[in-house]
């Protein structure tokens, strides 16, 4: 239990060091703070792994880091928002109607982000977690932790790529291969 607490505190200190390095204007401090943060992150991951084993330790470490990072961002934003003075902008006229091609592209992208990326993430998660040599409970836990990450990464790729056909073809291909692997074995 003490190792988990030390890992949690170490990861919080690492996120804090990254935040301070980002705010600082001194290049030497930035480098030292980033190096210290990386050392703390590595040590924190090692403590998580020592306490919970490699499968769940890495998952706990990733979840702890992400929750702490989003907490730092939230509280920093709350502090910054108090100092911002709101400006009232003059009235903006009517916006032009989007073209039909833009609307169709946006609908395809939305359907692919919600549907195709979710199906692909689910199938790929099942394939790679069942391929690992661990107990069923750990496979399920690892799938629960990683499926949303894969889904988010696929959705991000769909939204970020300038050519919509590339991520759709790749995700469709991964889905088909995963489906064949699952149901042909």
| Residues 108, 177 share a domain | yes
168 belongs to a structural domain:
yes
| Residues 115, 153 share a domain | yes
| Residues 130, 67 share a domain | no
What confidence score (pLDDT) does residue 88 get? 64
| Residues 116, 45 share a domain | no
* Whether pLDDT at 164 is above 90: no
What confidence score (pLDDT) does residue 92 get? 63
Q: How many domains does the chain have?
A: 2
Model confidence pLDDT, tens digit, residues 135-156: 888 888 888 889 999 999 998 8
Domain around 40: 2-76
* Whether pLDDT at 159 is above 90: no
31 belongs to a structural domain:
yes
104 belongs to a structural domain:
yes
51 belongs to a structural domain:
yes
| Residues 9, 67 share a domain | yes
What confidence score (pLDDT) does residue 45 get? 86
* Average of per-residue pLDDT values in the chain: 84
Secondary structure (H, E, C), the chain? CHHHHHHHHHHHHHHHHHHHHHHCCCHHHHHHHHHHHHHHHHHHHHHHHHHHCHHHHHHHHHHHHHHHHHHHHHHHHHHHHHHCCCCCCCCCCCCCCCCHHHHHHHHHHHHHHHHHHHHHHHHHHHHHHHCCCCCHHHHHHHHHHHHHHHHHHHHHHHHHCCCCHHHHHHHHHHHHHHHHHHHHC
Model confidence pLDDT, tens digit, residues 96-144: 777 888 888 888 888 888 889 999 999 999 998 988 888 888 888 888 8
| Residues 106, 55 share a domain | no
| Residues 134, 64 share a domain | no
Poorest-confidence range of 58-72, 73-87, 158-172?
A: 73-87
| Residues 179, 106 share a domain | yes
| Residues 178, 105 share a domain | yes
164 belongs to a structural domain:
yes
């Amino acid at each position: 239990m003490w190792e988990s607490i030390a890992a949690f505190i170490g990861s919080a200190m690492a996120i804090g060091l990254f935040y301070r390095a980002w705010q600082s204007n001194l290049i030497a401090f930035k480098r030292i703070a980033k190096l210290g943060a990386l050392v703390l992150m590595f040590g924190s991951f090692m403590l998580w792994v020592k306490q919970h084993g490699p499968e769940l330790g890495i998952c706990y470490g990733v979840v702890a880091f992400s929750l702490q990072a989003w907490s730092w961002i939230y509280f920093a934003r709350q502090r910054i928002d108090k100092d911002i003075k709101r400006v009232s902008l003059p009235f903006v006229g009517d916006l032009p109607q989007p073209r039909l091609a833009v609307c169709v592209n946006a609908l395809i992208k939305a359907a692919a982000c919600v549907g195709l990326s979710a199906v692909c993430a689910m199938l790929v998660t099942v394939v790679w977690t069942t391929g690992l040599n661990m107990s069923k409970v750990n496979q399920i836990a690892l799938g629960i932790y990683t499926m949303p990450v894969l889904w988010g990464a696929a959705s991000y790729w769909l939204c970020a790529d300038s050519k919509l056909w590339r991520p759709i073809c790749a995700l469709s291909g991964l889905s088909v291969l995963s489906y064949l692997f699952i149901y042909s074995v």
